[in-house]
Structure 1
Amino acid sequence: MTGRIGSIDRRWFERVAAARLPGAEQVLPPLSAAANHGRLWFGAAAALAVTGGPAARRAARRGVGALALASLTTNAVAKYAVRRRRPVLDAVPAIRRLARAPWTSSFPSGHAASAAAFATGVALEAPRYGAVLAPVAAAVAFSRVYVGVHYPGDVLAGCALGAAAAAVTCYWWPPRPSPARIRRTRVTAPALDDGEGLVVVVNSGSGKGVPGRLPAREHLELLLPRAEILEHGPGDDLGDVLDKAVARAADAAGVLGVCGGDGTVNAAALRASAAGLPLAVFPGGTLNHFALDAGTPTFEDTAYAVRRGEAVRVDLARVRDGDGADVTGFVNTFSIGLYPELVRKREKLEGRIGKWPAAAVSFVEVLRTAEPLRIRLDGHDRVLWLLFAGNGQYLPDGLAPTHRPRLDDGLLDVRTVDAQAPLARTRVALSALGGALRRSHVFRAERVEQLRLSGLDQVAALAYDGETAPAPDALLLDKRQAALTVYSPAAPLDEIAQRARTATLAANRERRRRRL
């Protein structure tokens, strides 16, 4: 880099080389080395995933995705496009120098790009965690100048590239909005101090392998010590356990609680609505889609709302057969065609590569061997790869929706992928891989109050909220508006503070046990 900019860059490098910062020699060179090959950031991501809540896990995934994109762009493209020699180390004290000096192009700084990408990616999902990581990322970036392997301009360019890489991930995988930005219809519900009057069914088979989670029963006893807990074990019938809990809650004029995945929540929601009971949802599954949309991503959120009597109204979607008899209901989604298999494959991949890339890869894989469905949709003959219906409008459009801005909008979010267009299979695959499916002519999205399906003889099963059921010849999907009251805090809680409070409760209980 020559000219005035290069001259300024070199002068600033010399100033940093001449600077004497107390304690920096003991901190910055080891920190710079720790960030080699992204090790520092992968460790931070693992710590977030294990010790943090849902927001922390999403932040870790986005941070790693942004880091991977920034590293690829920096090392495979930018360093070859702009070849710049590393600084001469004569002015850098020997105590600062790295044991092994890098040999690649100086511009831009890969360490700075990775640091900025990871910290920005984390901040997009969880600003508080991002604020904690920002000083560390800045220190890593500065350390590259301090140890003499980069000019300041290299570091600034790397930081800009890393931040841009994190921003680009939002195109494929939009961040989930903060709870404060989601519109919910607030209502009051019974305030149960310490959980007295709450009967909770815990599905012990849900949420296996979720890191950093206390056993559900222990967690509930810490937060709501007077709640009654019924466990659903491997040999129990979930419906029977839920019916027992509903009867006990109704007798006590209390509240039904449920701890499990979306399938368990669905079964509890239908029973709570029928019995006129408020529902407390504790996110005990792996993904907990409904709990996230309801504003209760952690046990602490739900317990706080139960103690204060804060709740929201929720629509229930209903599925009826051609004779008008109820088949089932759903709180999240319903689908036929490729979508159930797509979701299964996507959920296996999304923890590693993010939701949209996992959806695209899974969709193409499923599409290769699939056969389209011929059905009648609101009286019109259609040939479809899949049909998806959401209980309320989901955002964004496409095959990887992440959230609902409202839970009581009275609408079904219907999405279909057409199989009749010329080269439909190829067009769908290319659109999915390019992140442009929602703009493709083969993809349709509309919001309706009801949906009629017939001619379903090719449909072996319908899927809803992670469960499946045999498909009748005809179906009617509609909504029961504001049919359910669900506990939800009126204002978003500080995840870090809530987890610290739970840790304190656990420590206090352990001390009491030791005294006994």
Structure 2
Amino acid sequence: MVEVTATDAPMLSASSRPAQRWLARLAFVTAAAAVLLVLSVAGVTGSINLLVVGAAGMAMALAGAWWFLSHRGVLRWLAGALVILAPLVVAILFARARLIWVVVAFALLWTAALAAGRRALAAPAITDGPAERETPPPRRPYLIMNPRSGGGKVERFQLIEKAREMGAEVAVLEGEVDVVELARQAVRDGADLLGVAGGDGTQALVAGIAAEHGLPFMVISAGTRNHFALDLGLDRQNPATCLDALTDGVELRVDLGLIGDRTFVNNASFGAYAAVVQSPAYRDDKTRTTLDLLPDLLAGQQGPRLRVRAGDVELSGPQAVLVSNNPYGSDDLAGLGRRPRVDGGVLGVLAVTVHGAIEAAGFAQGLRRAKALTVLTADEAVVDADEPTVPVGIDGEAVTLPTPVRCTIRPGALRVRVPRHRPGVPPPRPELDWARLRRLALSAGGG
């Protein structure tokens, strides 16, 4: 089974959402007002040249952003300076002409247009996520904690002491430890819950053991980014609150991804995505490493030539592939954000195939509809290459696997115990699709 999920998403029903229809109209009215304000002021004051300078400044800032993403070294930082200086120079010129109020008014009107547009296209809050199940508290919970993860959150939030006070057995990772064998031994010793305070890679390994034995699994948000915790609606600011699940918790059933014989809770990445994860510097500085490797993606093919099959769809030569445990939100092209749900029973597949600078620019700007991007869902994805092995990033952990690599979804495979009271999963941030917004604004209906 495979379906395209991004560009073919159904339009919001105007007849059932009059508020959304009027917000869409407001978005176009305020956007038009912003443009008319600038044009009218330029016409009245004779500041056409200043208007041209403003447009040129915006174009230079966009070009600088593209150069910043697609180059390294001195040129990158010169481009970064251009992104900052171009609009600053425009603002100074408008201020000298006593027209800075035009810049401020334009910014406010355009901000209002974007806000109204996003509100008009916003999906309703997720109310049909994983069902909560009442289960008795664990009698012999076993928690594995990595004191180095997340910059030392285990020690900073006193997680070891608090967990032991609540009756949990805690294993603290020191040096090279086989986490899978540690979890298996805990099961043999009678543990009735397995939990992890650490990164998503460690979470995935232990979650696989919990699912194998039908035991509940507990996530403690002590990693750096805590993507899985985010998608479970847990508190990422204070990981100590996750321990409340030991005494006052409920269970959720969520999906697990499977790549070969290894589980993943977030995603498996190939090509340029995997190259980022494989970099030795990735653990210490994810953002800097991603920026450093991004030019290779935008420049074209790097590493093994990939082939992807997801259901009836076949892709040849993508520079980057991301297979996720359920699809990511519409504004997330790199698996760095959140998924609306983790119990949909499908894999998300993102593939980037850049054929030229224009397509690369569309991808770099984060456009979900860029020609360089293919977005699918499927219950199986097979990634092959023209080499016998391929580098893969599995939940941020770098590995090398023999080709072809088969990814599948295991619906409802994992029991997750979470605190009864937790922040929850926010509604997804919508992509601002002006074509959909126009159809919604022009649709008929009362109200």
TM range (shorter): 0.5 to 0.7
Aligned to 1:294: 232
Larger Rg: 1
- Give the TM-score taking structure 2 as reference length: 0.63
Whether 2:408 is the aligned partner of 1:465: answer no
Matches within 5 A, 1:57-76: 75-76=88-89
| Amino acid of the structure 1 residue aligned with 2:257 | A
Matched residue of 2:160: which SS?
helix
Match of 2:344 in 1: 409
Question: Which position in structure 2 is the counterpart of 1:373?
Answer: 305
Matches within 5 A, 1:130-209: 161=107, 181=126, 183-188=128-133, 190-192=135-137, 196-208=139-151
Aligned to 1:331: 265
Residue 220 in structure 1 maps to residue 163 in structure 2: yes
Q: Where does residue 209 of structure 2 map in the other structure? A: 271
1:230 alignment partner, one of 171, 178, 203: 171
| Superposed CA offset, 1:281-301 (max 9, x none) | 101211111111111224244
Deviation of residue 69 (structure 1)?
Answer: 12
Correspondence 1:317 to 2:262: no
Which of 456, 466, 474 is the aligned partner of 2:404? 474
Q: Which has the higher helix share?
A: 1
Distance 2:123 2:82 in 1: 25
2:380 equivalent among 445, 450, 454: 450
The equivalences for 1:326-405 within 5 A come to 327-342=261-276, 362-368=293-299, 370-371=302-303, 373-375=305-307, 377=309, 380=314, 382-397=316-331, 399-401=333-335, 402-405=337-340
Q: 1:175-198 CA deviation, whole Å, 9 max, x = no partner?
A: xx9997475212325443xx7532
Q: Distance in 2 between matches of 1:78 and 1:347?
A: 39
Does the 8 A contact of 1:182 with 1:405 survive in 2? Answer: no
**How far apart are 1:350 and its partner, in Å?**
6.8
* Structure 2 spans left out of the alignment, 5+ residues: 1-80, 425-447
3-state SS of paired residue (1:404) = coil
What is the CA distance between 1:454 and its match in structure 2? 3.8
Secondary structure (helix, strand or coil) at the match of 1:377 reads: strand
Kindly indicate whether the alpha-carbon contact (under 8 Å) linking 1:183 and 1:406 is maintained by their aligned counterparts in 2.
no
Residue of structure 1 equivalent to 2:363: 432
CA shift, 1:72, in A, is 6.5
The answer to whether the 8 Å contact 2:179/2:206 transfers is no
Contact 1:201 1:231 in 2 (8 A): yes
The residue correspondences of 1:22-101 to structure 2 (distance < 5 A) are 75-83=88-96
Residues 1:306 and 2:243 aligned together: no
| Secondary structure of the structure 2 residue equivalent to 1:478 | strand
Deviations 1:347-389 (A, max 9, x none): 877769xxxxx96775234444724614352584611211110
Give the equivalent residue in structure 2 for 1:486: 416
Contact persistence 1:316–1:330 (CA under 8 A): yes
Structure-2 separation of matches of 1:216 and 1:260: 11
Q: Deviations over 1:153-189 (max 9, x none)?
A: x6x98598479679979999x9xx9997475212325
Q: In the comparison of the two structures, how many residue pairs are matched? A: 334
Query: 3-state DSSP class of the match of 2:323?
Result: strand
Change (3 A) 1:200 1:190: farther
Q: Distance in 2 between matches of 1:395 and 1:308?
A: 30
Residue of structure 1 in register with 2:39 after alignment? none
SS where residue 460 of structure 1 aligns?
Answer: strand
Deviations 1:263-307 (A, max 9, x none): 110011000001111011101211111111111224244223332
Partners of 1:218 and 1:160 in 2: CA distance = 54
- C-alpha separation between the residues in 2 aligned to 1:197 and 1:270? 19
> SS state of the match for residue 388, structure 1?
strand
Whether the 8 Å contact between 1:205 and 1:233 is mirrored in structure 2 is: no
Structure 2 Cα separation of the partners of residues 70 and 164 of structure 1: 19
How far apart in 1 are the matches of 2:379 and 2:262? 17
Higher RCO (Cα < 8 Å, 6 or more apart): 2
Counterpart code for 1:408: D
Identity over aligned residues, as a percent?
26
Letter in 2 for 1:468: A
CA distance in 2, matches of 1:163, 1:226: 56
What is the identity, as a one-letter code, of the residue corresponding to 1:214?
F
Distance 1:264 1:69, change over 3 A: farther
User: How far apart in 1 are the matches of 2:161 and 2:83?
Assistant: 42
Letter in 2 for 1:389: V
Contact 1:372 1:383 in 2 (8 A): no
Whether the 8 Å CA contact 2:306–2:384 is kept in 1: the answer is no
Q: Structure 1 209/294 Cα, relative in aligned 2: closer, same or farther at 3 Å?
A: same
CA distance in structure 2 between the aligned counterparts of 1:488 and 1:457, rounded to whole angstroms: 42
- For 1:167 and 1:77, the matched residues in 2 are separated by 22
Q: State the distance in 2 between where 1:199 and 1:212 align.
A: 18
Q: What secondary structure is seen at the aligned counterpart in 2 of 1:444?
A: strand
Name the SS of the counterpart of 2:210 in structure 1.
helix
**CA 1:381–1:285 in structure 2 vs 1: closer, same or farther (change >3 Å)?**
closer
Q: What is the CA distance between 1:489 and its match in structure 2?
A: 3.7
Q: What CA RMSD, in Å, does the superposition of the two structures yield over aligned residues?
A: 4.2
* Residue identity in the other structure for 1:268: V
Change (3 A) 1:312 1:204: same
Residues in 2 aligned to 1:454 and 1:289: alpha-carbon distance in whole angstroms: 27
Provide the TM-score with structure 1 as the length reference.
0.55
